[in-house]
Structure 1
Amino acid sequence: MPRSKDIAANILPQIGTDIALKVKHIRTFIEQTMSVDVTYTKAWRGRRKAIEMIYGTWDNFAELPKYVLRLQSRNPGTVVNWFHHPYSALGHPTFKYIFWAFGPSIHAFRLCQPVISVDGTHLKGLYRGKLLAAITKNPNNYIMPLAHALVDEETVHSRCWFFQNLMEYVTTNCASKICVVSDRHAGIINAMENLKDWKEPKAYHHYCLRHVRKNFSGKYKSKSLMKLCWMIGSTSQPLKYRCAVREMRMLDQVAWDYLNNIDISGLLFMTI
């Protein structure tokens, strides 16, 4: 039975031509050339080894600063800020967070409405961590990325660090009060309540209606209640709002109490 490195050696020419070569095609090729049937996992590992043999591995983080510098040179005005682990070895700083915002996005934000949506997602694959992002909408109503950050975890510290960079490098010249739309993550709430540049009257915070409805639907399965939840959060007409609230209270008073207690102001914003 061939090992993954044997498979890699046999498929090097194909990987050199097509790095996206499918695993099923590798299995077929090995069966035809070596007269053996290999598992999907072993074929996948063979492909990974072949890619590493040609292009190298991603283990050398020392190359990351060079990549970032090239990114900045190709995108004038791009801002990058590093936060290194406080317990890094002397002379060998270990990256903990990195923030970046492309120059064109920073410039374009001056022409956009002062509404920002922030969120985070898990990184998949060999290296774990979280990707934080801030987006807005341009005057043509298209979603426009503003800033990103790679962090180890979504914590109060990493979120506050992200918001500090966002204010310093992206929104600092905004003349209007900024509306931040997000889920109810504790780190975001802490940043909005405690960072002076993000507290009222400079900015205000509202919860994303999509996240609210998702949490609401986890507790209340009724399609009618979910429809009313969306109507209550999205309508701008007082009469429709009162009618939807009255209908929800008739269907389930507990559901309305849950929804009403999410935000003291009673205002919910749809995600941008």
Structure 2
Amino acid sequence: MDLENSIYGYLHEGGEIVPKEDKQIQYKGGQQKGMYIGQRMSYSEFVSKACERLDINSNGYTFHYTLEFDPSALQQFDDDEDMHMMLSHSYDYARIYVLKRTRRVEVEGGIVNVQNDYCHNSMEETHNSVASCQANNESNLGLSQGFMSRCAETEVMPHDLMDGCPWRITANSVGTTKILKVNIFIVQMLSVQANLQCGEERCSCHRASNKGNPSVFAPSNLQRLQESRLVDINPGTIAEYSRQDGHFWQLFIAHSFSIQGFLMGCRPVIAIDSTHLSGPYRGSLFSATAYDADDGMFPIAFGVVSSENYEDWLWFLQKLKGILQDKEVVIISDRHQAILRSVSQLFGVENHAYCYRHVKENFSSYVTKHSMKGKKCKMDALLLLDNVAYARLDDDYVVAMEKLKTYNSDLAKWVEENSPQHWAMSKFAKK
């Protein structure tokens, strides 16, 4: 066993998981064993070794683990992929809980009373019932001690409550505790999913018949249904699309939480970029990303369009500007001509900053092709360009330009001809 590439696993079996007030869990009773878990160990190897350590038969048990950042949630793993996820999110050790496998039964008898408590005609009534349930769990659930004991080792399956009632309920025990988790859902959701699946089947036929035409996308009725679902699930979401010759052409999506998060907590700087889409339809994927207070990337919006042309960028940026509520922002991008034209038209040329990484790549290509050869010479030139770009004061910028001009006058001329007011810190208007 390679101990350097292993973590230590705490195995818990036969006891009771007890939730604590601080959202932690405590394991009482049973047995605890330890074992080393290699980074390349398969799920089957792990189960075999763990059962050997605990002296149990693997057929009657399931394996769960907790994450360091959320030790109150039990994560079940059943295969190599789950095993890899556990190892990836565990550092020096992992806590693994071996639980008896539950059996399934249908809801009947006294459980019907519980279900009737959740049989409502509207979403508002359901929310009120859930709220009252939180205030008085035992009385509203109407659970007898006998029902609790039956559910301790079983999982309750959904059952029809009343003829015509769309609501269903499921219940299952949490681990080996006496805590009962109740889930309610509405059957109408299933019909929406069925419509989506039917739409996807129609879309597949549509793709097969139009495979040679890269401008043909999904049918508009499916697009409208998906767009409506996005808004229903997250009110305030902006989901818009356009058609050309009866076919899908442009899509813009900005989730409500992204819009509000940007307006309330992000700096007024937005980076836009694009990438080509592969597959039979081609097209391009546009994105708009901001930066939060910790310099983390914060997605705002994305779009799917036909290509990276002026019309598509103008359409995408118009939609983006519409969600900013007149907030003045700085746009960062590469120097694609379509972007230069559309950004200056909508946000103003003074609010457009060029991505320095792209500028530096262009400068590096120029150095290679026109000026000098050799790795050291190139690195020296790039370092001088960094001094020009990151100079905070005008005096520092002048000194950095003089050093670059002394090193190579052609390189200094290239800088002057490539709009340093859009990428050099001391020259940018919006500081």
TM range (shorter): 0.5 to 0.7
Q: CA deviation at 1:216?
A: 1.0
Q: 1:248 to 1:264 in 2, by over 3 A?
A: closer
Residue 123 (str. 1) matches residue 277 (str. 2):
yes
Note the alpha carbon deviations across 1:49-108, whole angstroms, 9 max, x for none.
xxxxxx9696352333323332332223210111211xx1xxxx2111111111111111
Query: Residue type of the partner of 1:261?
Result: E
Give distance in 2, aligned partners of 1:191 and 1:99: 16
Aligned pairs for 1:95-134 within 5 A: 95-111=248-264, 112-134=266-288
Q: CA deviation at 1:166?
A: 0.7
Larger helix fraction of residues: 1
Query: Residue type of the partner of 2:361?
Result: K
Query: Residue type of the partner of 2:242?
Result: F
Q: CA deviation at 1:265?
A: 2.8
Give distance in 2, aligned partners of 1:266 and 1:126: 38
- Unpaired runs of at least 5, structure 1: 1-17, 21-54
Match of 2:334 in 1: 183
Tell me the SS of whatever aligns to 1:128. Answer: coil
- Which of 188, 207, 212 is equivalent to 2:359? 212
Tell me the SS of whatever aligns to 1:104. Answer: helix
Tell me the SS of whatever aligns to 1:220. Answer: helix
- Which of 372, 382, 385 is equivalent to 1:226? 382
Match of 1:10 in 2: none
Match of 2:233 in 1: 74
Give distance in 2, aligned partners of 1:136 and 1:266: 18
Q: CA deviation at 1:192?
A: 2.4
Q: CA deviation at 1:115?
A: 0.9
Q: CA deviation at 1:266?
A: 6.1
TM-score (norm 2): 0.44
Match of 1:192 in 2: 343
Q: CA deviation at 1:237?
A: 4.2
Match of 1:260 in 2: 416
Q: CA deviation at 1:248?
A: 1.3
Match of 2:289 in 1: 135
Match of 2:407 in 1: 251
Of the structure 1 ranges 142-151 and 217-226, higher mean CA displacement relative to structure 2 is found in: 217-226
- Which of 162, 171, 180 is equivalent to 2:324? 171
Contact (CA 8 Å) 1:206, 1:268: kept in 2 or not? no
Tell me the SS of whatever aligns to 2:421. Answer: coil
Contact (CA 8 Å) 2:291, 2:298: kept in 1 or not? yes
Note the alpha carbon deviations across 1:8-34, whole angstroms, 9 max, x for none.
xxxxxxxxxx9x9xxxxxxxxxxxxxx
Tell me the SS of whatever aligns to 2:236. Answer: coil
- Unpaired runs of at least 5, structure 2: 1-78, 82-199, 207-217, 369-377
Give distance in 1, aligned partners of 2:388 and 2:288: 26
Give distance in 1, aligned partners of 2:255 and 2:404: 45
Moved >2 Å (runs of 4+): 55-60, 62-76, 124-127, 192-195, 237-244, 264-270
Query: Residue type of the partner of 2:305?
Result: V
Tell me the SS of whatever aligns to 2:362. Answer: helix
Give distance in 2, aligned partners of 1:226 and 1:119: 24
Q: CA deviation at 1:129?
A: 0.9
The answer to which structure, 1 or 2, has the higher relative contact order (CA under 8 A, 6+ apart) is: 1
Match of 1:157 in 2: 311
Q: CA deviation at 1:199?
A: 2.3
Q: Percent identity?
A: 26
- Size of the alignment, in residue pairs? 206
Give distance in 1, aligned partners of 2:282 and 2:231: 25
Tell me the SS of whatever aligns to 2:224. Answer: helix
